[in-house]
A and B are shown apart, each in its own frame.
Chain A
């Protein structure tokens, strides 16, 4: 039972990161029906920029408290990513807004490669050990000494994610800017007739998604303790799958999808070995039973298969419920 609780904690942590990244995909899709495949790279850039700042500050004598270092690093990564997100839209997607949908999609993939290579040049091809400025402290969740734990870093990631999600919902549902965003998403032409500068709203949406991505990048790299110029690829694909699972274009859907995706992945990783252990079938075959005497872990798939779950989910959603859990039927969107 402890594996379950532990994987649940890990899953919620991961899921928080996925949810924050998924929101970036879903906001952009909601407003211009574009899948910004370069979004994962913005997450990576956030992690990388923060890395450089942390290294610089920690090396400068360590006069600053760890939390301040992390905060300064994140607050540097946010504007950098916002500019990148803004430029992606302004330079690459806007000229293609009336082009067939395949054109911006291919452009997005091209942009990911460009951003990866820029990162490769600046931060090398090696995995960068992410400085653990905050010492990890585990807190026990159960009375048993070797039971499930939650670390201060996990608490920080989950808490920060909740704050950001609540802030975003307030922005979108309680401010004039948020109403304008939703108006542009629904009917850009009429939004223009209201005096809304559609291009400014779209730019702001990209910048907002990129700001979230920057924080997600720092959280992800701090959690795993490593940053790499290709880290955005898989993270981005998983978050995109999460957005599709929740219903792309739907904010609550991205949050729910992200959380579920994290839990599916963590629980999957925790149990896949156990579930595919052939020794469960010992009763059926004497040969198997004999082998299992020596090695009781005759597992078909190990936890290294954890990355597979996101894509299994993506395929299942696309086949059985393309509109996602909370999305409106696809036909409702003109």
Chain B
């Protein structure tokens, strides 16, 4: 077993003729919290979808837990402990909160432990517990984001991919979500976090990658990226 849990090697992804990801390399070590930042349309979501088997790669390979998982369908990867919280949360709006959580644990067979885990995520998100019989579509945006993370936790992932968890949330809620992400990381879950909010992401992450028009242009320790003049100019709204 190496220390690397997820590795992308020369991964390229196209939509028809449009090359959205142009051969990137990216690694996440076990227990690490890595963030991937970049402007709109940089190819971040496309990269995550490629990892999860939702989009085919044009070139390159994806290794997860020491095995080549290139081209494996999403449901298989979940069973190997790789969970994605998709952009826009991907709620099952007509299902109740309980049912959404049940679906999160779909890949698991250990029923009694699942019941315990439901209580555990409810302890993390008391708001969800109060509303457990309500359909997810009736939740506020922030509550839905909580549910999306809680649901992903229900699969007992070893690795969590988060696509813009702060999107559309009020500042207070954003803070809450990020606290939760840190809690999850503390439990030993490896995290790859995609964010528009570069400052927040770099604050919580160990390392970061910067993507621009389908390519990784910068990579390094989060603390050094935070002080990189180019990053400060482009993503933190400061004059270079």
Contact = CB atoms under 8 A, between A and B. Distances in A.
A34 B143 CA distance: 34
Interface string A173-204: 00010011011001101111111111000000
B90 A197 contact: no
B54 interface: yes
B106 A192 contact: no
B27 to A, nearest CB: 22
User: For chain A, what secondary structure do more than half of its interface residues adopt (helix, strand, loop), or is it mixed?
Assistant: helix
A179 B94 CA distance: 10
Contacts of A180: 103, 106
Contacts of A194: 75, 78, 103-104, 106-107, 151, 155
Nearest to B96: A179
B73 A192 contact: yes
B99 A193 contact: no
A30 to B, nearest CB: 11
A182 B75 contact: no
A192 to B, nearest CB: 4
Interface stretch (B29-37, B79-87, B198-206, B225-233): B79-87
Contacts of B151: 194
Contacts of A179: 95, 99, 102-103
B92 interface: yes
Interface of B: 52, 54, 73-75, 78-79, 83-84, 86, 90-95, 99, 102-104, 106-107, 151, 155
Given A189-B54, A191-B103, A197-B75, 17 more contacts: A179-B95, A179-B99, A179-B102, A180-B103, A182-B94, A183-B95, A186-B95, A191-B92, A193-B52, A193-B54, A193-B78, A193-B84, A194-B75, A194-B151, A195-B106, A195-B107, A198-B75
Interface of A: 176, 179-180, 182-183, 186-187, 189-198
